[in-house]
Amino acid sequence: MFFKFIKKIIFLLMTTVGTLGNISIFVNYMFSWWGGPEKKPIHLILIHLAFTNIILLLVKGLPKTIAAFGLRNFLDDVGCKILIYLSRVARGLSICTSSLLTVVQAIIISPRASGWRRLRPKSAWHILPLFFFFWVLNALISMNLIHSITSINLNISQLKSEDNYCYFMLESQKTKWLVLPLMVLRDAVFQGAMGGASGYMVSLLHKHHQQVLYLQKAKLLYRTPPELRAAQSVLLLMLCFLVFYWINCAFSLFLSLSLQYNSLMINIQEIMILGYATFSPLVLIHRDGLLAECWHNSLLCFSFLYFLPS
């Protein structure tokens, strides 16, 4: 009973706080995008990341929260297919967008003499084709779910594992060995790019730290450029992503090798899936001091919608 109560509170808090946090980030950077004099690629990427997180929390976290409170199944077969498919696509988009964010931020803070500087986006609109590629890539990789997901209301004699309202049916070996390598390859490529860009940023920030120490000893005033402060925030964001991603991978591996159904492990794995989507906006709000600005822009947005003529 106590475990079920904790489960309800965790899923409710993660879904509510995560959704509100991502909406705040989305609204804040949308206002910065449309109202600012310069269209920054980083702002566009953060808008897409927040939008992706909102989708994941609504299609993954909300049904989990409703199921945790014991409400009756409201999903039919089509509803299950749509929600699970969107959650898988959104999770893949989160990996791709986070990797893009790290790479672009590394290019932005690279020295002018560096060859990486030539890859800097001339305009934020140059990022849009990459978003289109990410959506197509993850939509195709997740296509197998349309055939392997069904509602609990249907015949469950051939079902493999529980997902509260929805179930994964047994897949053919041909489909499994076609989709699984594509998912592993996608994660390896984008996390490799993320790791390389993060390492490059760490080396640049270390050089900057040494420069600051030298200027402090020389008693010279020096202010950290906003690009480097943004790089520190991105690195913290990537650390958050990697922690939740690899913990989730560890639990997924354990569950796949386990012969017994373990409700506790399954719920922890689900929490890890929602972890990055929940905590990444909080990291940005806290690290960049966006709390007051986010609330101000959110209130402006809600006020505008309220006073629209009906």
Hey, what domains does the chain have and what are their CATH numbers? 2-306 (1.20.1070.10)
Closest alpha carbon to 23 in 64, 55, 67: 55
First to last CA, the chain: 47
Helix axes 226-257, 77-109, angle to 10 degrees: 140
CB-count burial class (<10 Å; 0-12, 13-18, 19+) for 67 = buried
Lowest mean pLDDT among 11-25, 119-133, 222-236: 222-236
pLDDT at residue 99 tops 90:
yes
Q: Which residue has the higher pLDDT, 148 or 254?
A: 254
Question: What is the rounded distance in angstroms from the CA atom of residue 153 to the CA atom of residue 161?
Answer: 14
Question: What is the rounded distance in angstroms from the CA atom of residue 282 to the CA atom of residue 290?
Answer: 10
Lowest mean pLDDT among 50-64, 110-124, 263-277: 110-124
DSSP category for residue 72: P
pLDDT at residue 200 tops 60:
yes
Mean pLDDT of the chain: 77
Question: Would the pTM of this model clear 0.85, i.e. be above it?
Answer: no
Residues forming beta bridges with residue 149, ordered by sequence position: 168
Question: What is the rounded distance in angstroms from the CA atom of residue 105 to the CA atom of residue 15?
Answer: 28
Residue 162's pLDDT band (cuts 50, 70, 90): very low
Closest alpha carbon to 204 in 83, 102, 58, 67: 102
Q: Which residue has the higher pLDDT, 204 or 242?
A: 242
Q: Count of CB atoms within 10 A of residue 242's CB?
A: 16
What is the average per-residue pLDDT within 94-98?
Answer: 94
* CA distances to 75, 89, 148, 305 from 143, in Å: 20, 9, 10, 37
Closest alpha carbon to 239 in 294, 179, 191: 191
Beta carbons of 52 and 115 less than 8 angstroms apart: no
What is the average per-residue pLDDT within 58-77?
Answer: 78
In the chain, the amino acid numbered 181 is P
pLDDT at residue 73 tops 70:
no
The residue to which tokens 């390389």 are assigned: 196
What is the average per-residue pLDDT within 129-137?
Answer: 94
The residue to which tokens 């939008």 are assigned: 51
In the chain, the amino acid numbered 83 is L
Question: What is the rounded distance in angstroms from the CA atom of residue 109 to the CA atom of residue 204?
Answer: 8
DSSP category for residue 80: H
In the chain, the amino acid numbered 175 is T
Highest mean pLDDT among 66-80, 213-227, 248-262: 248-262
DSSP category for residue 260: S
The residue to which tokens 């808090």 are assigned: 13
Highest mean pLDDT among 113-122, 132-141, 279-288: 132-141
Q: What is the pLDDT of residue 288?
A: 63
Residues forming beta bridges with residue 163, ordered by sequence position: 166
